[in-house]
Structure 1
Amino acid sequence: MFQGLKTECTACSSRGSQAFRHDFTMAFQPIFDINSGKVFAQEALVRPIGDGSAWDVIKHVTETNRYSFDQKCRTQAIAVASRLGIDTRLSINFMPNAVYNPEHCIQATLQAAERYAFPTDRLIFEFTEAEAVRDTGHLVGIVESYRARGFMTAIDDFGAGYAGLGLLCDLHPDIVKIDMALVRGIAGDPRRRKIVGAIHDLCVDLGIAVMAEGIEEAADADALRELGIKLVQGFYFARPAYERLILSPEAGFSAKA
């Protein structure tokens, strides 16, 4: 599946990393511009071969094979998306604690991009607040290294993880993805409106794009639009598609200029 692609560097192998020996592929869930209805990016999500959930793959990740898994996620996302003819940005989740040296650990990703003629300036790397960051300075170094190469970066699950505003201040990512726990039910919850509205306004002031994830209801989508949030993702618009790119929102969504 990864034949011909280097998936780990010598420096990381010497640290005792073991190969992730379970095959997997990717599903893709689009991120839409709520005003135009066009795809902003496709997020790559791990899936087992044939059928199953992300957990069927992730449950095999350990401290010793975490690096190899992270590398394979990157290369497989580029490989599958390229085979499907992606022409938008590609968002890939990465594990900060699996990156030993950003300059070394990015080499397999660059090799995959070159092999599949994928423009590296279309890559977005997401890291989640759900994973405790062991060394904020190290994460800052990763983000700065990626930014220097022209990659975009995003904080996933913002508002429901470990770091919050401190990490936002230190990293200054390109995109903040507001966690579904704050998004769901926002249409009928004034407190959620105020919190999400404040996050949006703060990020706009800092020059950071805001995306809302986990949207399942039309009323919530309308409430987010009223707050000025343009980038959206969730089952209301499109569910993840196994080895397939969804290019337009599902029926029931009407773009508003």
Structure 2
Amino acid sequence: MLNHKCVECGVSFYMGHQGYLFVKTLSPLPHPLEKHNGQWYYLPYESLEELEKSLLQLQQELGDLFEHIKGGLSTTEERPYITFPLNLLLMRIVQRDVVNVIQNGELMSFIQPIISLQKNDELYGYESLLRTGGNHSITPGQLFSTAEKTGMLSLLDQRAREVAIQARKNFIQPGVKSFINFLPSTIYNPDFCLQHTFHLVTQYNIDPADLVFEVVETEKIEDINHLKNILYTYKREGMKVALDDVGAGFSTLETLKMLQPDYVKIDRHYVDHCDQISEKQSFLAQVMGIAKDLGIIVLAEGIERKEELEYCREIGIDLAQGYYIGKPALPSNIFIYGGK
């Protein structure tokens, strides 16, 4: 059975500038909500500003009950098919500008180069990083924070994967890897939720072996078995997987052993001045030992100094990424350290 939250993935949330707010509850609701029929109440509104004001007033009057009642919007007096908890509905109205960007705004993929330290710094791949386009200047952090608060992470994560795959098709040569972030919590049923991504790979005639899907650093791993199932689903389709930011928070060395990804990316904290700090050198040695035993490719991210790069090369780290090598940029503007 699919998780009930699947309704949020790929489904647009329509915010008509005029329409009706519908609320479903067993308890009588205060004026100005009017009884519709059965358990339903409704309230007409003439603007989103008016709707926001009405929801805030209702929140004040209902108190804690507000978040346990569901509501939806409609442009007619017919009840909506999809409803949400009122606190979620209110958040979507309050954050409507960012919500519109998440749903329909122009998104683009910046890319940051990754080089092979053991092969003369030749280009190995790019990490795809989500950015907004057009007249919007919304940071990725703000996008994902708003998406989390409004229950739209699944939709945003899906769109981010789509623009990354499109950018790869248009700008990246076959044989060069694309590292694409994903949020495990948005994938409730891997066989179902990832079909959109797999369809895009087929549609754009991309070799699955050129794609590396990585668990992003902001995601907390709560269910290792579920994550293992997601990684297995990617691998079954011929793609590679990476564990990001090992050493930071949830990404421990034990997690690395349990998940056994194709790649491991070492957190910037352990790369910063690794040429000078013995504790960081000890941690890097541990990662390298485990990775060698399991056949995992190691990537040092966040390299900002030549000394860091050379130390990572010296101890056998395979790949490197960071501002010293190349900053994230539009594919047409990319510059790589060393001119390679």
Counterpart in 2 of 1:83? 170
1:15, distance to aligned residue in structure 2 (A): 3.5
Counterpart in 2 of 1:55? 141
Q: Distance in 2 between matches of 1:245 and 1:148?
A: 34
Residue identity matched to 1:134: E
Counterpart in 2 of 1:117? 205
Residue identity matched to 1:81: R
Checking the alignment, whether the CA contact within 8 Å between 2:179 and 2:213 is kept in structure 1 is yes
Counterpart in 2 of 1:220? 308
Checking the alignment, whether the CA contact within 8 Å between 1:27 and 1:244 is kept in structure 2 is no
Match of 2:114 among 7, 18, 31: 31
Counterpart in 2 of 1:164? 252
Residue identity matched to 2:106: D
Q: Distance in 1 between matches of 2:130 and 2:181?
A: 10
Q: Distance in 1 between matches of 2:121 and 2:230?
A: 32
> Which SS does the other structure have where 2:289 is aligned?
helix
Aligned residues: 243
Q: Distance in 1 between matches of 2:130 and 2:187?
A: 19
Checking the alignment, whether the CA contact within 8 Å between 2:326 and 2:335 is kept in structure 1 is no
Structure holding more helix per residue: 2
Q: Higher RCO, 1 or 2 (CA under 8 Å, sep at least 6)?
A: 1
> Which SS does the other structure have where 1:103 is aligned?
helix
> Which SS does the other structure have where 2:154 is aligned?
helix
Q: Distance in 2 between matches of 1:112 and 1:130?
A: 25
Q: List aligned pairs for 1:95-174, cutoff 5 A.
A: 95-174=183-262
User: Given the superposition, is the C-alpha separation of residues 33 and 16 from structure 1 closer, same or farther in structure 2, using an over 3 Å criterion?
Assistant: same
1:165, distance to aligned residue in structure 2 (A): 2.3
Counterpart in 2 of 1:234? 322
Where does the alignment leave 5 or more consecutive residues of structure 1 unmatched?
1-9
Checking the alignment, whether the CA contact within 8 Å between 2:327 and 2:335 is kept in structure 1 is no
Q: Distance in 2 between matches of 1:84 and 1:129?
A: 26
1:136, distance to aligned residue in structure 2 (A): 1.3
Q: Which has the larger radius of gyration?
A: 2
Counterpart in 2 of 1:74? 161
Counterpart in 2 of 1:4? none
Kindly report structure 1 stretches of 4+ aligned residues shifted beyond 4 Å.
10-14
> Which SS does the other structure have where 1:113 is aligned?
helix
Q: Which deviates the most, 57-66 or 135-144?
A: 57-66
Match of 1:41 among 125, 129, 152: 125
Q: Distance in 2 between matches of 1:168 and 1:233?
A: 20
1:55, distance to aligned residue in structure 2 (A): 2.5
Counterpart in 2 of 1:65? 152
TM-score (norm 1): 0.87
Deviations 1:9-29 (A, max 9, x none): x95676441544143111000
Checking the alignment, whether the CA contact within 8 Å between 2:246 and 2:253 is kept in structure 1 is no
Residue identity matched to 2:184: P
Q: Distance in 1 between matches of 2:129 and 2:330?
A: 9
1:246, distance to aligned residue in structure 2 (A): 3.5
TM-score (norm 2): 0.66
Checking the alignment, whether the CA contact within 8 Å between 2:245 and 2:251 is kept in structure 1 is no
Percent of aligned pairs with the same residue?
A: 29
RMSD: 2.2
